[in-house]
Amino acid sequence: MYIKAGFFVFLLQNLDMKFYVGVVFFILLSCSSNSTVLNRTNEVDLNAIKETLFYLSSDELQGRKSGEAGNVLASEFLINKMEDYQVKPLFASFKDTLTNFPNTWNVVGLLPGTDKILKDEYIVLGAHYDHIGLKKQMNDNEDIIANGANDNASGVAILTEITRYLSKSELKRSVIIAYFTAEEDGLLGSEHLAEKLKSEGYNVGLMLNFEMLGVGMDRNYLAYLTGYDKSNLADIIHSKKINLIGYFEGESERSLFKRSDNYPFYLEFGTPSHTFSSFDFENYPYYHHVKDEYKEMDLKHIEAFTKDIAPVVQELINAPLGLIKNNK
């Protein structure tokens, strides 16, 4: 708020001190109040993020391998989060049992849209909650639990906080929240869900996936987008937050677009489907390693990315019809 100094001189010369003090107090209170309102939409709950990240990467879950007890505990934790945030099950229950892998399930919820037309177009937000379980033991004192903090408790923790954020927001389109299982077994959870949604006639207009976002990069952006040139999504995000995402030159070399849970949705629906990640193969030496633990996570980076991406996701959900599209 900009006020010329002459205004205060006028007050001093023409008003008594009690009235002057009251005016100044009112102005300062107004400035403080406006600042709070402006920042409130960008608030994220770091403690909630830490809770999810810590629990999913704890030894209790034994690496969250699909079909095993730790994977089940992880799914129950995520179902409780869905219920806490008043997310509805997309199907008969939150558990979407896989047809292509035994004894495991995706956790899938719905935030219904409110626009008469746009609510019938679905945005899928996803992250895989499984990991690789236990490594082969070589000696008695060796740590064998592949806790999977970066891969992918980090992405799940961020998606869970985005879900809380969206549950309190106006949403024109309907949003499917999907925590995938059996990603480590070949993207089987996302493959199952994409095929199921397609067969049941869902109109999926966009898929955003969150994968390995626990540490920052030595670059001038917070995360990279796989399939960067495949749609106009990067340009749209840049128009909202210039340093939020960038192009990672190693993405195409390693075919990362095809190696995460965005890809089955791209195959089934042909709509923009991308993954956000900040693992660039240079910044974290513990991929599929027993040292991929909570203590290695960069909480400031996670908080910064979540704070920036949550309102952007909401804007994408509410974007005009046809704004986000594949490049030719």
Assigned domain for 3 exists: no
Assigned domain for 133 exists: yes
Across 67-203, where does the E strand assignment appear?
88-89, 95-97, 105-111, 122-128, 174-180
What would the mean pLDDT of 138-153 be, rounded to a whole number? 93
Same domain for 226 and 148: yes
Assigned domain for 325 exists: no
Assigned domain for 301 exists: yes
Percent of the chain with pLDDT over 90: 84
**Residues 233-258: pLDDT tens digits?**
999 999 999 999 999 999 999 999 99
**Confidence (pLDDT) at 141:** 82
Same domain for 178 and 113: yes
Same domain for 248 and 167: yes
Assigned domain for 2 exists: no
Same domain for 173 and 49: yes
Percent of the chain with pLDDT over 70: 87
Exposure of 239 by Cβ count < 10 A (0-12 exposed, 13-18 middle, 19+ buried)? exposed
Same domain for 52 and 31: no
- Hey, CA dihedral for 243, 244, 247, 251, is it positive or negative? positive
How many structural domains comprise the chain?
Answer: 2
**Residues 33-79: pLDDT tens digits?**
333 232 344 589 999 999 999 999 999 999 999 999 999 999 999 99
Beta bridge partners of 210: 276
Structural domain including 174 reads 45-317
Given a cut of 50, whether residue 23 has pLDDT beyond it is no
Tokens of 277: 């990640």
| Nearest one of 45, 95, 91, 89 to 72, comparing CA atoms | 95
Same domain for 253 and 191: yes
What's the whole-number average pLDDT of the chain?
90
Nearest-Å Rg of the Cα atoms of the chain is: 23
Assigned domain for 326 exists: no
**Confidence (pLDDT) at 29:** 36
